Structure 1
Amino acid sequence: MHALIVVAHPDPRSLTHGVAAHLAEGVALADAGHSLEIADLAAEGFDPRFSAADLGLHLRDEAVPADVAAEQARIDRADALVLVYPVYWWSMPGLLKGWIDRVFTNGWAYDDRSGTGVAKLLGRLPVHLVGLGGADAGTYARHGYFGAMKTQIDHGIFNYCGAPVVTSELLLEAGPDNVAAHLKAARAIGCGLFGSRQ
């Protein structure tokens, strides 16, 4: 089994990167036969800007841009997709959202043809979401942020493509006092990624 872990944070020393690394350790602990790839969107310089070429692809007038095709190939090789990201303004960072905007294209992630409805094309791809938020659970509950994030990300993006969201985890109060607990939680998510536990 092969996991693609996508991380979106500009600082490689961040807790977000630490969580991604510990999640990867968990995948390796669960079964030495599992493989994984970590896609560090910031370090790789992925361009999240939705351009005229991306719009042309959406409208089926243009070919797939090379950088988008490379990301789609990465996902096609994966048996599970894991997104690890800090929560910015009660959602994912623009870098990760732009990656989704550009990579999850009409004709590859879903097929929207006039008059025939939308075909969901990513039913084979389990998705695991791991967000890191600075606020506490009470803040998320009080303002409805838990539900809002699930609606826009879990349902609005991945359900639209048919990709089942298996894990939707928010590691909250992501300050220095909770680093050890968050890294432990990340390792546990990795261990259970393919249904086995260490």
Structure 2
Amino acid sequence: MHALIVIAHPDRLSLTHAVAARVAAGIAESGPRHSFELADLSAEGFDPRFGQADIALHLKQAAPPADVAAEHARLARADALVLVYPVYWWSFPALLKGWIDRVFTQGWAYEDNEDGKLVKKLQRLQVHLVALGGADQATVHRHGYESAMKTQIDHGIFGYCGARVTGSHLLLASDAGYPGAHLESAQAIGRGLFDSRPQP
């Protein structure tokens, strides 16, 4: 099985990149039947701005722009999507949000039919979220940030398209053993990525 690991951080020396690399290492350890591709959105220069061509695609008036079509092809090859990202203002960084905006398109990720019914087109895809945050667990729980992020991202984005979020991880700077423990966790996530059991 094949995973697309998407990274949204401009600094290749960041913990985000190190975590993504360890997820990839875990997939490699899990056996020769499994493979991965790393997509570094910042290094690749992906344009997150939703423009006129994206509007035309949404309105079913045009084909996908070339960069969006390339992302569709990458995702079509993948059985699993792994998003590795820092938490900015309790959500995705703008680069990753723009990737979602432009790539999870009408007609490809979902279809609003003329009869008003929604067709969820990504039911084959499993999604794993690996978010890195700076707050402590007490703050996260006190304000309900984790449940708010799950509502927005797990349900609002991927549930809408039918993709299954089978792993959702919030790695915090206040966690015991930081940052080494996060690297170990990331490798374990990679090793277990294609297990049939949902990850906590």
Structure 2 length as normaliser, TM-score? Answer: 0.95
Q: Which residue of 2 aligns with 1:150?
A: 150
Q: Which residue of 1 aligns with 2:23?
A: 23
Opposite residue 9 of structure 1, the aligned amino acid is: H
Q: Which residue of 2 aligns with 1:10?
A: 10
CA distance in 2, matches of 1:81, 1:10: 20
Q: Which residue of 2 aligns with 1:72?
A: 72
CA distance in 2, matches of 1:118, 1:56: 20
Opposite residue 109 of structure 1, the aligned amino acid is: A
CA distance in 1, matches of 2:100, 2:135: 25
CA distance in 1, matches of 2:161, 2:103: 12
Of stretches 12-21 and 177-186 in structure 1, the one that deviates more from structure 2 is 177-186
Name stretches of at least 5 consecutive residues in structure 1 with no aligned partner: none
Question: What secondary structure is seen at the aligned counterpart in 1 of 2:179?
Answer: helix
CA shift for structure 1 position 173: 1.3
Q: Which residue of 2 aligns with 1:189?
A: 189
The count of corresponding residues between Structure 1 and Structure 2 is 197
CA contact (8 A) 1:132 1:174 kept: no
CA shift for structure 1 position 116: 3.2
Q: Which residue of 2 aligns with 1:89?
A: 89
CA shift for structure 1 position 33: 2.7
* Residues 94-109 of structure 1 aligned to structure 2 (within 5 Å): 94-109=94-109
CA shift for structure 1 position 179: 1.2
- % of aligned pairs identical? 67
Opposite residue 122 of structure 2, the aligned amino acid is: L
Opposite residue 5 of structure 2, the aligned amino acid is: I
CA-to-aligned-CA distance 1:86-110 (integer Å, 9 cap, x gap): 0000001000000000000000000
CA distance in 2, matches of 1:115, 1:57: 20
Q: Which residue of 2 aligns with 1:38?
A: 38
Opposite residue 155 of structure 2, the aligned amino acid is: H
Deviating above 6 A after TM superposition, structure 1's stretches of 4 or more consecutive aligned residues are: none
CA shift for structure 1 position 174: 6.6
Q: Which residue of 2 aligns with 1:113?
A: 113
CA-to-aligned-CA distance 1:7-50 (integer Å, 9 cap, x gap): 00000000000000000000011112311100000000000000
CA shift for structure 1 position 113: 2.0
Structure 1 length as normaliser, TM-score? Answer: 0.96
Q: Give the CA RMSD over aligned residues.
A: 1.6
CA distance in 1, matches of 2:54, 2:146: 31
Q: Which residue of 2 aligns with 1:48?
A: 48
Opposite residue 52 of structure 1, the aligned amino acid is: Q
